[in-house]
Structure 1
């Protein structure tokens, strides 16, 4: 059953994205519907009828919120053209450019692309980028955000094709990993994961899981170095990352892939869990509650004497929750601003 929308001030960019429709500067299409890329749930989606709206969101918590509210939401690429394409662009430049190019392509010859960004997240740059593709854009500013939309098209077709390719999966890390712009640490192995890899116990065995697996870096190393491992399940909230993990672990037969919000718990049980838990969601603000919840979920999912091996920022206060859920906790490494911890269930 649909849930009620959230508070009016929860998401300024989402709010201002719909401001041109509220003022009459733009009209919602009478037919043909609208595509909303990187959609987020919030009161503007329910303030007035939006016939034919199709949302797309690859981040599972946001996908789930849209689905609960009754929005027609898809987790992967929606095909077709629409008279209106709405966009909440990401921060990463190549990913944003590719998304702008896709939005313009899916708006067809006569459709309108409408985007909104917070000023602190590159709104001025985003406006300029869309204008590079389509010619001059219209713009309104409110609540420290800019909403901008296409007018008469002066399309740069060559640039559009160039930008559409920017988000394509590619080999990184000396050709050893498939990745793409926008996923966490997309073009390298991040410092925290590298530290965990250097101190990963090689005697992990049985059935395991990687919570917040990203593109599969930790799971690949576990399978390569821990000969007693029979299987490993990868959980990640970002579908784009999980699809890359499928590529990176395609040669492995004993791997499961789960597009899942780990904070909601996992139903399976494991002999070991490895993880580099997130410490922010879709914002830059620290979210130590996410890491604490990952630890709680890991403790619930581990069998008796099950082992958790994790890495985290040194300053994040996880010791209390580790001590409250595990019989043994020991530091394996402390370097470069990160700590590697092993914890054992009673």
Structure 2
């Protein structure tokens, strides 16, 4: 895979994940195929043939990239056992431990689990966790990443049973809300969303959308406070979060749920849009381009005189995008490093 400049895509963890197969330290299974959990597309997947590879990815942009490249990919729920299970673990430790446990179960009694993590994103901890669960692991390092895999099994059955449910959905807060480790701000209302909720206009009306809806925290308050809202569509790229939103808003018949990459645009028009757009991708560095794209998509999807109400980090440069796409822009509140902005389309 190459980007528009002609250079190879940069995903060191993905590349190093396949390093044991490139060096001959591991052999690709001759039968039975392989399962790739938290799969991402990139040139290493296409550098050679990997027969009967099945991918699972719940983040819609990554899912779409895998599908476009022709790889078999599922959003979730891939069952069965495989002689090889590949894993790109997430940063959140409970979620990662649950994923290691699932990988071991789906590798059966004799399969191999191979995982890779960047050094600055917990590779040493991930290696230690897999070893606690499965016994001694083999390790290779390259490009500031660590790839590690299971050998002869010494599985701790009690720990396996405990870790398998570490990221299970559960009630949080006052007990009325379902969430799970690994989704954004899983056990709290984040500071930015809390500020937006404090200054949410009560006169939102008509057909609306929540872009990057997460588990539905903002959507719940819109539907509860704004009596003139007829419908509210939730758009969320992370399938795990969207599934929770469906449960959390199950009593609201006028809520719609869309597993969707907002940066690809929307296909219908709305009277209002609310959002707390993401400003990070896989890396930790700020990605204001994502927020700017959310603003552009919102402007395109709003009807004339449609309203956008959003919250953002005060230091992120969104003013030019807002000013260029909306007739009126005003700050409703600013506190704790965030700002709530209302913009009205011409």
Q: TM-score range by the shorter chain?
A: over 0.9
CA shift digits 1:33-56 (9 cap, x unpaired): 000000011111111110010000
Specify whether residues 98 and 226 from structure 1 end up closer, same or farther in structure 2 by C-alpha distance, changes over 3 A only.
same
Q: Give the aligned partner of residue 176 of structure 2.
A: 176
Matched length: 343
Q: Give the aligned partner of residue 45 of structure 2.
A: 45
Q: Give the aligned partner of residue 28 of structure 1.
A: 28
Deviation at 1:176, TM superposition (A): 2.4
Q: Give the aligned partner of residue 234 of structure 2.
A: 234
Q: Is the 8 A contact 1:5 1:46 kept in 2?
A: no
Q: Give the aligned partner of residue 90 of structure 1.
A: 90
Q: Give the aligned partner of residue 143 of structure 2.
A: 143
3-state SS, counterpart of residue 340 of structure 2: strand
CA shift digits 1:261-306 (9 cap, x unpaired): 0000001100000000000112211000000000000000000110
3-state SS, counterpart of residue 203 of structure 1: coil
Q: Is the 8 A contact 2:2 2:9 kept in 1?
A: no
User: 2 CA distance for matches of 1:9 and 1:144?
Assistant: 16
Q: Is the 8 A contact 1:183 1:241 kept in 2?
A: yes
Kindly report the root-mean-square deviation, in angstroms, between the aligned alpha carbons of the 2 structures. Answer: 0.8
3-state SS, counterpart of residue 240 of structure 1: helix
CA shift digits 1:224-250 (9 cap, x unpaired): 000000000000111111001001100
The aligned runs of 1:234-273 (5 Å cut-off) are: 234-273=234-273
Deviation at 1:9, TM superposition (A): 5.6
Q: Give the aligned partner of residue 120 of structure 1.
A: 120
For structure 1, the residue ranges without an aligned partner over 5 or more in a row are none
Q: Is the 8 A contact 2:9 2:42 kept in 1?
A: no
Q: Give the aligned partner of residue 17 of structure 2.
A: 17
The aligned runs of 1:147-226 (5 Å cut-off) are: 147-226=147-226
Q: Is the 8 A contact 1:5 1:41 kept in 2?
A: no
Deviation at 1:341, TM superposition (A): 0.4
CA shift digits 1:299-333 (9 cap, x unpaired): 00000110000000010111111111111111100
Specify whether residues 284 and 261 from structure 1 end up closer, same or farther in structure 2 by C-alpha distance, changes over 3 A only.
same
User: 2 CA distance for matches of 1:247 and 1:321?
Assistant: 34
Specify whether residues 15 and 271 from structure 1 end up closer, same or farther in structure 2 by C-alpha distance, changes over 3 A only.
same
3-state SS, counterpart of residue 293 of structure 2: helix
Q: Is the 8 A contact 2:329 2:341 kept in 1?
A: yes
User: 1 CA distance for matches of 2:166 and 2:252?
Assistant: 28
Q: Is the 8 A contact 2:36 2:86 kept in 1?
A: yes
User: 1 CA distance for matches of 2:111 and 2:161?
Assistant: 18
3-state SS, counterpart of residue 126 of structure 2: helix
Q: Is the 8 A contact 2:12 2:145 kept in 1?
A: yes
Q: Is the 8 A contact 1:5 1:69 kept in 2?
A: no
3-state SS, counterpart of residue 315 of structure 1: coil
Q: Give the aligned partner of residue 320 of structure 1.
A: 320
User: 2 CA distance for matches of 1:281 and 1:208?
Assistant: 26
3-state SS, counterpart of residue 227 of structure 1: coil
Q: Give the aligned partner of residue 133 of structure 2.
A: 133
User: 2 CA distance for matches of 1:167 and 1:306?
Assistant: 39
* TM-score (norm. length: structure 2): 0.98
* TM-score (norm. length: structure 1): 0.98
3-state SS, counterpart of residue 256 of structure 2: strand
Deviation at 1:8, TM superposition (A): 3.9
Q: Given the alignment of the two structures, is residue 296 of structure 1 paired with residue 296 of structure 2, yes or no? A: yes
Q: Give the aligned partner of residue 103 of structure 1.
A: 103
User: 2 CA distance for matches of 1:186 and 1:137?
Assistant: 31
CA shift digits 1:83-107 (9 cap, x unpaired): 0000000000000000000000000
Q: Give the aligned partner of residue 79 of structure 2.
A: 79
Deviation at 1:5, TM superposition (A): 5.1
